[in-house]
Every structure is written in structure tokens, then in C-alpha cells.
Amino acid sequence: MIRVLLTAFEPFGRDPLNSSLEAGRLVVAGPPAGVALEFAELPWAFGDSIAELRRAVAQVEPDLVIATGQGGNRPDITVERVAINLDDAVRAPDRKGHQPVDQPVVPDGPAAYFSTLPVKACVEAVQLAGIPATVSHTAGTHLCNHVFYGLAHLIATERPELRGGFAHLPYLPSQTSGQEKSASMSAETAAEGVRILIRSTVAALHAPPVGAVAAPRRRRWLSRRNG
């Protein structure tokens, strides 16, 4: 049975909810058939979030990691393609008040990594289920990208047999009620989208890994294999 680690972030700021956490809890309650699913809630903190991710990976020894986060300004599920080696939290600090600006996630790490998920196949599968989804080429420069890069670096340097990637989930409807922000998705719909991401990647696990190398290297080969 394929071992899958699903991660989400704790609520942050003044919002008592985080869409990735609410959707993740539903996936745990009704996981995809044929997988052994484990779940980890990551702290909204630079450094600590990657440390918790690494602890969960060491404990679970997964074949696949799907990391998720709240993409409040996004109208659909966005499967991230590239993680960059940059922490730039100029807009907001983390829960500990840390606010790195123009700092690397990993000192001396490569500039970027591609996801090792079949990102386009994942998006197409979610869309076929009638759930809005797109490929994204930027995970930002805050904690979502921080965790995505940390995961990709772990895969590239220590666990080449592991596959993993990141997806942003929209706000929940309750998070947009009475506010200017309007894009949202129910936790149930987002959870089903995450289940489809898991199933799509599990179906591709027999194929050789598609990346986990620095983006500037072997770019043409990666673009063909990555969809």
C-alpha cells in the first residue's frame, strides 16, 4: 500500500480558520482507497514548519507527500510547479514575529526546484471532476513556498525515491462572507480535489521521477517529462 503524507497549515493571523487545514481534516476522515494516509499540521512559522515536515517524513516514511496551504487570493486549486529559494515576508511576519526579507530558504541551495508531481495530469484530473484547478508557476515567497522548497530540497538531497509537491486551496466561503475577497471553495470540494491529486500521483508512481533537480539544469528534459 502506498504511504501518503498530507500536510496543511495551522490558522494564522486573526483568522480562526485555514482552508488547507479544514480540507485536510476531511481527507483524513475519508481518504482515497488504496493508500495509507497520514496527516501533519504545520506551524505558521519559518524554520519550524520545515522542521515539523522533516519530522513527519522521518516518522511516516512516505512514498508521496502532498503539502497544502491557503491561497486566499486564488479562485481554484492551484498545483505548484516551481519552488524558489527565497523567503521574502515583506507583507506579514509569521506567528513568532519573524519576517525574513530577501533571505534564502536553504543557504547555498539551488535557485529553484520543480515539483516531482505530475502537475498537469493532476490538474486535468481535478478539472475532469468538475473542480476548478490550474497549474501555478509561483508559490509566492512566504511560508507556502518556504515549505514547498524545504520539501523539494529534502527530496533532492536525501530522499530521491520520494515524490512530493504543493497545492494552494482557496478560501472557505465563511472566510469571504461580508468581505471584499470573494473567491472561495467549500472544504468538501477542496478535499475531493486533494483526494484526486493523491490518486493521480499514485497512478504515476510507477514512472521514473520527473524532477527534484535545480530548475536551471536539464530544463528542456524536465519540461517534457513534467507535462
* Catalytic residue selected from 80, 122, 142, 192: 80
| Short-list 137, 155, 136, CA closest to 147 | 155
Query: Quick check: is 52 catalytic?
Result: no
Does 144 participate in catalysis according to the annotation? yes
Could you say which of 142, 146, 153, 168 is catalytic? 168
Shortest CA distance to 55 belongs to which of 69, 66, 41, 44?
A: 41
State the catalytic residue, choosing from 144, 146, 153, 192: 144
- The CB density around residue 112, as the number of other CB atoms within 10 Å, is 17
Active site residue 80: yes
> Cα separation of 213 and 206, whole Å?
19
Reported as type and span, the H/E element at residue 123 is: helix 119-128
Per DSSP, 179 falls in state S
DSSP 50-99: HHHHHHHHHHH--SEEEEEEE-TT-SSEEEE-EEES-B---S---TTS--
Pairing state of beta strands 2-9 and 64-70? parallel
Question: Which residues are known catalytic residues?
Answer: 80, 144, 168
